[in-house]
């Protein structure tokens, strides 16, 4: 996956609580195992009417939010089923970070595994950033220094050190495994010498 670098963007405001994974990516779009192409179906039922026409009353259909890299949302974001397509669709749309007061645990973990930085902040700071988003003001997310910057002000955020390292280095589970490739080769050769009948 791509390394996470400092990002700047006018964030998209989505002041809704309990946004579940079926709202993020409805079940009819889960037939694919590809991570690409899902962005067009992100928040499908909010973005399109029953005929498939774009709804003009949804924030992600407006400029400049159509190209936002940061999403500001309400509490319990990503609740519902554990579908990994949810972070895939957010990432494919262009989101690299989601800021909310709280996240569903499985969704939160899936974000890190797919190159998205989920940031938990207290409601007061989420409200501040939501206002910045509604006013179409740019903010930045600096993972290395764990700082969100807006209007010459900073908000510190917490992130697990191991997950931070993986995002900065662009390491998903496969990437982490490949870092131990030499040890795996040595182990496989050893096993082959002891038990040559194992292919």
Residue 81 lies in a domain: yes
Report pLDDT for 166.
94
pLDDT attached to residue 167: 96
156 found inside a domain: yes
- In-domain check, residue 69: yes
Whole-number pLDDT of residue 193: 77
Confidence of residue 198 (pLDDT cuts 50, 70, 90): confident
Residue 103 falls within a domain, yes or no? yes
Task: Determine, yes or no, domain membership for 180.
Answer: no
Q: Provide the domain count of the chain.
A: 1
CATH of the domain at 113: 3.20.19.10
CA angle 15, 9, 64 (to 5 degrees): 70
Identify which of 17-21, 169-173, 195-199 has the greatest average pLDDT: 17-21
Q: Could you tell me if 74 and 101 are in contact, meaning their C-beta atoms sit under 8 angstroms apart? A: yes
What does the pLDDT read at residue 177? 56
Residue-wise pLDDT for 75-90, tens only, equals 999 999 888 999 999 9
Domain that holds residue 150: 7-171
121-134 pLDDT tens trace: 999 999 999 999 99
49 belongs to a structural domain: yes
Confidence bin at 43 (pLDDT 50/70/90): very high
Q: Is 188 among the domain residues?
A: no
What is the mean predicted confidence (pLDDT) over 148-174? 92
* Residue count (the chain): 199
* Residue at 121 is within a domain: yes
């Amino acid at each position: 996956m791509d390394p996470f670098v400092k990002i700047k963007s006018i964030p998209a405001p989505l002041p809704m609580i309990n946004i579940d994974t079926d709202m993020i990516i409805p079940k009819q779009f889960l037939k694919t195992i590809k991570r690409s192409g899902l962005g067009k179906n992100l928040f499908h039922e909010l973005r399109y009417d029953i005929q498939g026409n774009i709804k003009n009353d949804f924030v992600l259909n407006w400029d400049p939010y159509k190209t936002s890299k940061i999403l500001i949302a309400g509490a319990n974001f990503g609740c519902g089923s554990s579908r990994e397509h949810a972070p895939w669709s957010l990432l494919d749309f262009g989101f690299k970070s989601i800021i909310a007061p709280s996240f569903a645990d499985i969704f939160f973990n899936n974000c890190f595994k797919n190159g998205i930085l989920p940031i938990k902040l207290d409601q007061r700071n989420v409200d501040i950033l939501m206002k910045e988003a509604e006013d179409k003001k740019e903010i930045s997310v600096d993972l290395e220094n764990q700082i969100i910057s807006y209007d010459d002000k900073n908000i510190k955020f917490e992130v697990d050190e191991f997950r931070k390292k993986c995002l900065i280095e662009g390491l998903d589970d496969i990437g982490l495994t490949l870092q131990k490739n030499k040890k795996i080769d040595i182990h496989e050769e050893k096993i082959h010498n002891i038990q040559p009948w194992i292919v």
